[in-house]
Amino acid sequence: MQLAAGGVQVAATMAARADGAQVRLAAMADYPRLAHFAATFDDETRDEKFWFQRFGLWWDENPAFREGVPRGWILWDEGEIKGFLGNVPNEFLLNGKTVTALSTTTWRVLPTHRNHSLKLFFAAIRAAKGSIFFDTTPSPDAVAVVKGLKFELFPYNANPVKSFIVVNAKRVLQSRGLGAAAWLGAPALRLGQSVRLRLGGAAERMSVRLLTQADASFDHLWQRTKNRYANTNVRSAAAINWQSFGTAASRKFLFGCYNGERLVGYLIATRGVRNELKVAACVDVWLDPEFSSALGNLLQFVRGWAGQEGIDVIEVPHFDVPLGRQLGALGLFQRSFSGEQPAYYKAPDVGALDPAATYLSMQGDRGL
């Protein structure tokens, strides 16, 4: 397995000095000072306990973290932390080869040292040599930086389309400002959707379950299907458990589709509120192409679960073109979304990834 690059041992471990400020790798011994720095940063509302838990999630409990993988980079001056850029590693297939991907998080620099901000970012890019570097939660200022450095936009972000299932028609219409008219329109919306949807209809042995952990069957599914894409996350049971259940604060819901006892696909969803609607948002879906009915069965089950949980709408992004086609064939409503937070990547030794061979969903802290 290739480490997230020779730059970790060479360039990233060397302090970059200028005007008294140094960039160095973060270490476990830095946790107390880093937690204090993050908790006392301007406009931060979360306390040091939260940040200690976050460090544990990003690094100590992360199956992709090991010796030699950077936790992040500290801007150090006059014996104090003046800035920080974190890294959330994950295992990734890059051109069919497993590497440790880097993903930025929590880029924060004190106003007195803002002129050194890019030193942290450049240290991360150097560490990604031979691997891939993600920035999935960029601020508006960071977007300008990554564009200037020739980062590539995620294929999905170039045309952000989502499919959706309406669970509570009245609430959805009310969110569109229809008021009392929603009572009249809801039956028509429900009827229109029921005519369109073609979920279920699976073989007799197909079943879907809400799971509390990913077991060895997820490893078996990954080994059978990992050649579907040259560029995508490694979907081992350990990685899925970390992403789905790593923290109670951002717990996800894992649905597995089985043919008999054989796992043939899964869907991971979060729940939240947007535009006064309770939304179940799919953050990853992975399927065995030999079982074409798996996606429909997953969505049928999630629809029933969402109704019991008081969810108003289910959203599934089109992580790639074939998934969009599958969702369209199942009759889901589809529309383009504006205002989606963009996500970027840079593969220093590869350049732009072939969209047809690339499947990007959960990355870095965006998936946590």
Please, what are the domains in the chain? 6-155 (3.40.630.30), 161-337 (3.40.630.30)
Three-state helix/strand/coil letters over 43-92? CCCCCHHHHHHHHHHHHHCCCCCCCCCCCEEEEEECCEEEEEEEECCEEE
What is residue 359's three-state secondary structure?
strand
Share of the chain above pLDDT 90, in %: 69
> What is the pLDDT at residue 365?
72
User: CA angle, corner 301, sides to 295 and 302, nearest 5?
Assistant: 85
> What is the pLDDT at residue 3?
38
> What is the pLDDT at residue 8?
38
pLDDT in tens, 290-311: 998 999 999 999 999 999 999 9
Count of residues making up the chain: 368
Where the chain has pLDDT below 70, the residues are 1-19, 201-204, 249, 366-367
> What is the pLDDT at residue 13?
37
Containing 238, the helix (H) or strand (E) segment is: helix 237-245
pLDDT in tens, 124-155: 999 999 999 999 878 888 888 888 999 999 88
Q: Closest Cα to residue 5, out of 96, 132, 97?
A: 132
Q: Residue 31 corresponds to which tokens in the numbers above?
A: 């946790």
Q: Residue 364 corresponds to which tokens in the numbers above?
A: 């870095």
- Burial of 321 from C-beta contacts in 10 A (0-12 / 13-18 / 19+): middle
> What is the pLDDT at residue 16?
44
- Burial of 265 from C-beta contacts in 10 A (0-12 / 13-18 / 19+): buried
